[in-house]
Chains A and B, each alone.
Chain A
Amino acid sequence: MVMNTRSGINEKKETPPTKANAMPLRKRGGTVSNIYLALIFIFLYAPIVVLIINSFNAAKSRVVWGGFTLDWYRKLFQNADIIDALRTTIIVAVLSAVIATLAGVLSSVGIYALPKRFRRIMMQITNIPNITPDLVTGISLMLLFYFLRAQTGFVTLLLAHIAFNIPFAILSIMPKLRQMDMSLYEAAQDLGCTPAQAVRKVLIPEIRPGIVTAFILTLTLSIDDFVISYFTAGNQVTTLALTIYSMARKSVNPQINALSTLMFMTVFILLIIINMRTSSKNRIAHNGVISADRKIGKRAFTTQRKE
């Protein structure tokens, strides 16, 4: 149920309707638009709400309320399979987020230094994995691993997660680089930094907010992923998302509700952090810089022939 967060993030980043658009609607038919809005939210969130409520339901049935209980959560943490899957999920998430973020920083700096035309081409290439369906990415990675005769397992799972995370890391870091005044990098060198020192002492601190966002985002995507993990994890290793899937296939186990609730809450909180970061970042962008590009149009000669 949280499998599609990746596309969901992109949608959330789009600009919200401006006040100018929203105002006339509210003035004309407040009730109609409010009902419409409420319906959308109900359709979107009712299943999750039902799920969360059921995770506290003492009755095994999903339609009868048998009283409040935390049993399912308790059982969850006594389930060795689930604890094992949780450990794998966290290790893969943290490792892939760290590696993808590092790779993202290096690639972003490299892409930014390219001439404009190549930079655009590189960014297009970077964007392709983002719009490729997970299914295609998953199957192609699986085929790649078969082709290389690699045993699918923890390593292939980690590699796959790093692979799909890198473009998102680049996308989080690039805007920060673009906002940065390139003369900062030159100023650092002017003051005695080698190019490497200039990157470390000026460029990285400047884009740090983007780096942190990249880390949280890739962490979220990794925890959240099911499809790509399904094709690359093999038989031995399993993540939480894979566990939920296999549990749901066998029988209706209310532990799934509890586990899903926990996963949903984790991803939800991480997403809120990302969104708060991006909106506060936009606020401080371009502060106090007055354009020095004063126009001094070519002055005409003071003496001119009459027409």
Chain B
Amino acid sequence: MENIEKADQLKKNNRVRLLTRERSKTAMIGTQLSDKTGQSHIIELVGVNKSFGEVQVMRDITFYIRSNEFLTLLGPSGCGKTTTLRVLGGFEQPDSGTVTFEGHDLLPIPPHERELNTVFQRYALFPHLDVAENVAFGLQIKKLPQGEIDSRVSQMLSLVKLDGYGARAIDQLSGGQMQRVAIARALVNLPKVLLLDEPLGALDLKMRKEMQIELKQMQRELGITFVYVTHDQEEALTMSDSVIVMNEGAIQQIGRPIDIYNEPRNAFVADFIGESNIINGRMHEDFRVLICDKWFPCVDRRHENEEVDVVIRPEDIDLVKPADNLLNGIVTSATFKGVHYEMIVEACDLEWLVHSTDHKAEGSEVGLSFGPDDVHIMVKSAFSPMRGKSDQDSASHESERGADYE
């Protein structure tokens, strides 16, 4: 039953999406071109859809990849990011939509003729070959002279800091070393675009941090476009020039890491990238938002809909003395986190997450202080927080519309 309902819902959504496709397309182009760098697009996806049976894993995916950029597809598992990568690699054919590579249709080209290489999730190194043979594999297929192969392989092995490992068997390597071999094996072919499918997922934290920096360095030095898939938001923010946040097969937001963090487009992005307080709000006019029956100044204009989601990052809230023009509450927990204290404040029937270097003891009465810059307004979406009973009771003017949101 539930599945059928869900499928219907998906279909309906899709229809709406198709209707609004033209509009959304221009909107996305706008987002991507906002930081005008004037670089050309190496890859363009327009309106790509893909389903596996009943499940639609790519919904109207439209985005562009600029030459030499580090682009990250970010999202939880099952959001369609890996499928998107596999479409680029040629291992999946989309149901509809177009993919172009340097202006040419990419879809009819088989994987082995595409000028891209992939670093696979579990490395996919050939166990029957040693390290050097693995790295040389692509060049050997292209039938390059042996002398050139040898010099390029040893060059690449030293780039990934594996000099002298050429004769090692694959099963003698550590996870980090296998990772480096996989990267070397792809990069030695000098692809125009390197696709990386959660390449650091199997490494421990310290190794992951090191590899993040190294990968970013390699990308800059070699001038190769990287398309990187990850579910780790910190990794995405650290390494990327552009981030595409995906969920349930659809793009939620495209932008530079700083824009994604500071200006999340909806509650999903706000929650997935970093920690945030997402509150129901109301706007009747520009630059003023009603939160918990109190008006606060903000820097956003009024949206079409007066119901909005309000995001306030935990580090943007200061705990001060209670005052009439603030939201007042009681600290219910305070945990030392090293750099800051993580405190939970109960105010107007909500739990607020606050990060601050000032410690307030549990039980103390505080006011939540935040400036107009700290209040970020988003349109309502399917990811908005659930409406609580208390909210409807306290906000008298909601009774007329409240039912719409159940």
Q: Which residues of A contact B (CB under 8 A)?
A: 181, 183-184, 186-195, 197-198, 201-202, 205-206, 208, 284, 287-296, 298-299, 301-306
User: B388 within 8 Å of A by Cβ?
Assistant: yes
Partner of A298, one of B76, B117, B142: B76
Cβ-defined contact, B231 with A296, below 8 A = yes
Residues of A with C-beta under 8 A to B4: none
Contact with A along B371-399 (1 / 0, CB 8 A): 00000000000000110111100000000
Interfacial chain A residues near B350, Cβ < 8 Å? 303, 305-306
Q: Is B254 an interface residue (CB 8 A)?
A: no
| A296–B118 alpha-carbon span in the complex (Å) | 23
A197–B141 CB distance below 8 A: yes
What are 23 of the A-B contact pairs (CB < 8 Å)?
A: A187-B120, A187-B124, A187-B126, A190-B111, A191-B117, A191-B186, A192-B141, A193-B112, A201-B141, A287-B127, A288-B171, A288-B173, A290-B202, A292-B121, A296-B231, A298-B76, A301-B267, A302-B278, A302-B353, A303-B351, A304-B351, A304-B385, A305-B391
B202 touches A292 (CB 8 A): yes
Complex contacts, B346 vs chain A, CB 8 Å: 306
Instruction: Give the complex CA separation of A181 and B272 in angstroms.
Output: 31
How many residues of B are in contact with the other chain, CB < 8 A? Answer: 56
Residue among A189, A208, A288 making CB contact with B110, cutoff 8 Å: A189
* Residues B122 and A294 in contact, CB atoms below 8 Å apart: no
A295 to B198, CA, bound (A): 13
In whole Å, how far is A15's beta carbon from the nearest beta carbon of chain B? Answer: 25
Given A187-B120, A191-B141, A302-B278: 5 more A-B contacts, CB < 8 Å: A183-B121, A189-B91, A192-B189, A195-B110, A301-B267
Once the chains bind, are A190 and B118 in contact (CB under 8 Å)?
yes
Q: Could you tell me if B351 and A287 are in contact, using CB atoms closer than 8 angstroms?
A: no
- Cα distance A299–B233 when bound, in Å? 12
Q: Give the residue among A184, A190, A295 with the most B Cβ atoms within 10 A.
A: A190
Check if A205 sits within 8 Å of B201, measured CB to CB. no
Report whether A302 and B277 are in contact in the complex, using a CB–CB cutoff of 8 Å: yes
Cross-chain contact A186 with B120 (CB below 8 angstroms): yes
Q: For B175, what are the chain A residues with a Cβ–Cβ distance below 8 Å?
A: 288, 290
Evaluate contact between B201 and A186: CB separation under 8 angstroms. Answer: no
Cα A215 to Cα B348 in complex, Å, equals 76
Q: Does B352 contact A (CB under 8 A)?
A: yes
Q: Mark B146-168, 1 if CB is under 8 A from A, else 0.
A: 00000000000000000000000
Select B89's contact among A190, A202, A303, beta carbons within 8 Å.
Answer: A190
Specify the chain B residue showing the minimal Cβ separation from A284.
B171
Flag if B117 contacts A190 (CB, 8 Å): yes
Q: Given A190-B89, A191-B137, A294-B201, are A303 and B352 neighbors across the interface (CB < 8 Å)?
A: yes
CB distance from A126 to the nearest CB of B (A): 26
**How far is A292 from B111 in the complex, measured between Cα atoms in Å?**
24
Whether B201 lies near A303 (C-beta < 8 A) is no
